[in-house]
Amino acid sequence: MIKLLVFDVDGTLSDGKVYYTQSGEEIKSFDIRDGLAISVWNRYLARPSAIITGRDSQIVRKRAAEVGIEHIFMGVENKAEVLRNLLAQLNLADSEVACIGDDLNDLGMFRICKKAYMPSNGAKALKKYAYKILKSRGGDGAVREMIEDVLKLNGDKKLEKYFL
């Protein structure tokens, strides 16, 4: 059973593009459907999730708070080390975590996660390490698709039942 979800940000939770305003502020877009699925995981199921990303962003902190992600690691160079420490802290096995990433800096997480997901537009070199290549693109429903698959693997067939 999957008990922890781990998300990269750029290229998975967002479309991987970074926009800057005239004043130099960074802008990212996040998919609302992804956010709803993350909220169900965190709030309805009371399961933990984490962000492990190489960039540091106040926008990501805000989004994490909105959807209930409690473990946030930014500016990370070695994602595998951070994930190993988090698994130890939460007393979870490798088989109890699913992750999503889109590029080579996520390879360390993919080697740990038995269920490593990748958006359809992820780096070609990462594809051979993915458990599943999703139909959706990063920032456009890939995280939602991942969570729906994890719920199915866990024996929970429909996301919709949390809203009826």
- Bind-site residues for Mg(2+): 8, 102
Is 19 exposed, middle or buried (CB count within 10 Å of its CB: 0-12, 13-18, 19+)?
exposed
> Rounded to an integer, what distance in angstroms lies between the CA atom of residue 119 and that of residue 127?
10
Ramachandran region, residue 92 (left: φ > 0; alpha: ψ -120 to 50; beta: rest):
beta
Please say whether the beta carbons of 153 and 115 come within 8 A: yes
Q: Which residues of 77-90 are buried (b: 16+ CB within 10 A; e: fewer)?
A: eebbebbeebbeee
Please provide residue 72's backbone torsions phi and psi, each rounded to the nearest 5 degrees.
-125, 125
Please provide residue 135's backbone torsions phi and psi, each rounded to the nearest 5 degrees.
-75, -30
Residues that constitute the known binding site for substrate:
10
Residue corresponding to tokens 């999957």: 2
Residues that constitute the known binding site:
8, 10, 102
